[in-house]
Structure 1
């Protein structure tokens, strides 16, 4: 009778590959969002709610075929609390977040809401573990602090007033809600179906907000430049960015994935000189290095110090 070969101890290579894949996906999503600020600069005169409606409605249509045939049964299986989370996710983390940023920039320079949003990794690193009944991970928290300091260094601080600070804080809440509210519904829906669903919900919410705030002027035909910017935001930033973001969160968890949001101001600073709206100098380079160090520390790229959880030791199986 042929002897059975002893089983070898499983290596950490598959787990490391999954984390690396998740890090690349989250980084790509945040770079796309940061680069989208260039597209936002040409939409300053377009109705806010109408632009959000077109963006999310088009993204939802593009995402619908990717959701798969099992999408409808999985949506019907959701409970009331999960649907409430989806509605709040679209209202707070998408429509509300963008509205808060626009309102903040009426009384503050763009750097001010950017600095507040740059603190999102710190809030998520503390809030998500506490909601899950566990202690915050030290490495993730320290990495989040580095990311926040780096984001502040890249953007600096600008002129502001009371409403500017208040709306900037609302933008911070929207960025945190985009990660925290999505975590419980990501597992049953998956990245593609979740992205398609929240885009559809956000389109409805944006249309309602437009009718209430702007009346009949909430939607108009965009010109060629505005149409190109809206198409970029819908097809690239929303479809590709959202799916990559939720795939990265699925592999890394909300705490580690949110660290990569520090790349948003870095990407914005890198693309600003292309359209003449800013400069990238030594200060931005130092801030970018701090963001990179914080992401590496908190996500575990620096080795055991940054690892969230140590893999449990498995006993060797008998031959």
Structure 2
């Protein structure tokens, strides 16, 4: 029987649309030391996510264990309820550190390098292959085989993404960096799926952002950014705050919540919406519609999503299986 989770699709779509539409605004901080700027962004986001986890724990019930009753000893039958907020085990902390290193710090570093040697369209086309990578790797992690229909769907989405982004110039360094960014994009979801069911979306996002900060600061020192360090302008400060609040906090939580509901393979299809959102945003800013090839690419992406998101095989349990294996190993 075909299973369709509209809430999961809406959450993942929200995350990808925010990320895709926010790419153009990042151009406002190109003159600010990039790695330092990303460290500031993730530090602000980690603080916001920690506050959400502390004060609004029920936003993501997966990250809070069921309340436990403790008697008062007065014989009145009353008690208190205590909601347990799980902390990551040593193994989970290692996975979160790897997520921060590859999916956050590494991804941003590779994108910055790639953009110095390639046109943005080429970089976006390579990263747009993420749905195919997730469709291939997600079932392999728990001993399964990729569903043929999901592979077909991923291929359609990747083809549509290539039409949306178009081609562009590059060199060997730019191509390697773009594939590095692709690997970071895939690792971001693969590693998160292992720890999401026990820690929850908010806490995974908070730990990931917090762990990325020192990694980015070390990279900034190696790149010689301290010599160019300065206070951001008003526009740069506002942009960093926007990227931290909407593009990181809201988009990450929405994506992780949706990923937990849909599973890796199905959620991976929706990564193809990121370049589409970028295209639509650019068209609105320019005041003119996209070209024929780009419009065709949007339709191809939509067709691929329709095939993948209505597949008869239920892939939502992939993250649960991965998390179950992680809990067993930790125990």
For the criterion TM > 0.5, the same-fold answer is yes
Paired position in structure 1 for 2:142? 132
Give secondary structure in 2 for the equivalent of 1:181: helix
Give secondary structure in 2 for the equivalent of 1:68: helix
Pairwise CA distance, 1:75: 5.0
Against the structure 1 CA distance between its residues 140 and 26, is the aligned structure 2 distance closer, same or farther, given a 3 Å change threshold? same
Paired position in structure 2 for 1:33? 19
Paired position in structure 1 for 2:203? 193
| Whole-angstrom CA distance in 1 between matches of 2:102 and 2:14 | 23
Cα deviation per residue 1:153-192 (whole Å; 9 max; x = unaligned)?
A: 0011101111111101101101110111111111111011
Where structure 2 has 5 or more consecutive residues not aligned to the other structure, the ranges are 58-62, 65-83, 317-331
1:157-168 equivalent positions in 2, closer than 5 A = 157-168=167-178
Cα deviation per residue 1:272-301 (whole Å; 9 max; x = unaligned)?
A: 13444996222111101111111121111x
Paired position in structure 2 for 1:61? 47
Against the structure 1 CA distance between its residues 259 and 307, is the aligned structure 2 distance closer, same or farther, given a 3 Å change threshold? same
Paired position in structure 2 for 1:48? 34
| Whole-angstrom CA distance in 1 between matches of 2:48 and 2:315 | 40
Paired position in structure 2 for 1:308? 313
Pairwise CA distance, 1:68: 3.4
| Whole-angstrom CA distance in 1 between matches of 2:54 and 2:313 | 33
Q: Kindly indicate whether the alpha-carbon contact (under 8 Å) linking 2:33 and 2:225 is maintained by their aligned counterparts in 1.
A: no
Paired position in structure 2 for 1:297? 307
Give secondary structure in 1 for the equivalent of 2:185: helix
Pairwise CA distance, 1:74: 4.7
Give secondary structure in 2 for the equivalent of 1:182: helix
Q: TM-score, normalised by structure 2?
A: 0.83
Cα deviation per residue 1:45-102 (whole Å; 9 max; x = unaligned)?
A: 11111111111111111111211378796554x3322111101101100111111111
Paired position in structure 1 for 2:293? 283
Paired position in structure 2 for 1:143? 153
Give secondary structure in 1 for the equivalent of 2:204: helix
Q: Kindly indicate whether the alpha-carbon contact (under 8 Å) linking 1:143 and 1:295 is maintained by their aligned counterparts in 2.
A: yes
Q: Among residues 200, 217, 230, which one is paired with 2:240 in the alignment?
A: 230
Check if 1:255 corresponds to 2:260. no
| Whole-angstrom CA distance in 2 between matches of 1:295 and 1:63 | 30
Against the structure 1 CA distance between its residues 296 and 194, is the aligned structure 2 distance closer, same or farther, given a 3 Å change threshold? same
Give secondary structure in 2 for the equivalent of 1:105: helix
Greater than 6 Å deviation, 4+ residue runs: 69-73
Q: Among residues 282, 298, 305, which one is paired with 1:272 in the alignment?
A: 282
Cα deviation per residue 1:193-227 (whole Å; 9 max; x = unaligned)?
A: 11111111112221222122225236421112212
Give secondary structure in 2 for the equivalent of 1:308: coil
Where structure 1 has 5 or more consecutive residues not aligned to the other structure, the ranges are 1-11, 301-305, 312-319
| Whole-angstrom CA distance in 2 between matches of 1:218 and 1:204 | 18
